[in-house]
Chain A
Amino acid sequence: MTETTTPPAFVPQPARIPADQLVSDVGIAERAAEFRAAPLRGPYATLRVIQPEDYPFLRTLETSSEVATRWRLRGTTPGPEQWVQSLWNGVMVQFVVAETKTDKPIGLVALYAPNFQEGHARLGAGRFDLHSRNPVMIFGVAMFLEYVFHGWNLRKLYMDLPEYNYPQFSSGLGRFFDIEGRLREHTFASGRYWDELTLAIYRDRWQSEGARLLGTEASKFGAAADATAGGAA
């Protein structure tokens, strides 16, 4: 008769990892404390997500004012559903720029067509009042650039625009952006052809030069004042 034996029950043993191979948490707390959300609200400009209730206003603006011929629709009047699709087509991030003091919408900023393999994306920005020299929109765009470069590892942003829109910020040439492309007589508007320019905003130059535009936007408000809006956990 064969004697049967019950195999010993498996008792899991605690892992014996040599002390010198343990993953240390030294320094994690210090690094975690460095986490900073890019602000979406500054003393002059606020970036807020577009809501469906913004659509009628934005569509009216884009199709029925002087903006209509200068902006992306170029004077066309797509139907409501088609317009909404075009608003978000290829868009990764998009905000309404509003005056902080009054909450009045003054423009749109968008990042679209991102290419993470090559590290670039395209920037769109437009103010609703084309004749305004109010600098609040500039502060909104600066905050948006900080938001983008802070949140994604993109090395450069392109901005395409017809030359008639260029004088609004031409003083930034060589400091905040370069002109890297020029298509001669590419765009027909206002009865004639215009050159199409491609501006390039580089991450490193933005961080060394452009970020000073955020002086009042970021340094006094910063992430602490806007942790929720900035997406902090």
Chain B
Amino acid sequence: MSLPLRGQIQWEDLAVEIAAIGRLPIERVVPEATLIDDLGYDSLAVAELIVLLTEEYEITTLPGDLETRDWSKVTVGQLREECGGGTA
């Protein structure tokens, strides 16, 4: 088993974290799901996820366009790609 590189997160870990913050069954966390409309994330949950990914996983690319990004369109799959994670 290989450890994720700094700045990367494995799909399984990302799914677990997204499910935990959103208090969701992990089965709902699929790549095509949008954080807000499909998973019911509010802005507090989005903020929690950003902090977790940047602090715990040292994902430095995520906050780059935090202010201008349309968070209503962000999908789990997009996040996975940005975080350099492995395949599902």
Contacts and interface: CB of A to CB of B under 8 A. Distances in A.
Most chain A C-beta atoms within 10 Å of own C-beta, residue among B45, B67, B71: B67
A101 interface: yes
- Residue of A43, A169, A171, A212 most packed against chain B (CB within 10 A): A171
B67 A99 contact: yes
Given A134-B67, A171-B23, A216 B44 contact: no
Interface stretch (B11-19, B35-43, B79-87): B35-43
Given A213-B51, A215-B51, A133 B71 contact: yes
Nearest to A106: B67
A136 B43 CA distance: 8
A216 B54 contact: yes
B51 A137 contact: no
B30 interface: no
Given A44-B67, A212-B51, A133 B44 contact: no
A168 interface: yes
Nearest to A43: B63
Given A215-B51, A216-B54, A168 B66 contact: no
Interface residues of A, number: 27
A151 interface: no
A135 interface: yes
B36 A133 contact: yes
Contacts of A170: 42, 44
A216 B67 contact: no
A134 B54 contact: no
Contact of B42 (A43, A142, A168, A219): A168
Given A133-B36, A168-B43, A212-B55, 7 more contacts: A99-B67, A138-B43, A167-B42, A168-B44, A171-B21, A213-B51, A216-B55
Interface of A: 43-44, 99, 101-102, 104, 132-139, 142, 167-172, 176, 212-213, 215-216, 219
10 contacts: A132-B43, A133-B71, A133-B72, A134-B69, A135-B44, A139-B47, A142-B47, A172-B44, A213-B51, A215-B51
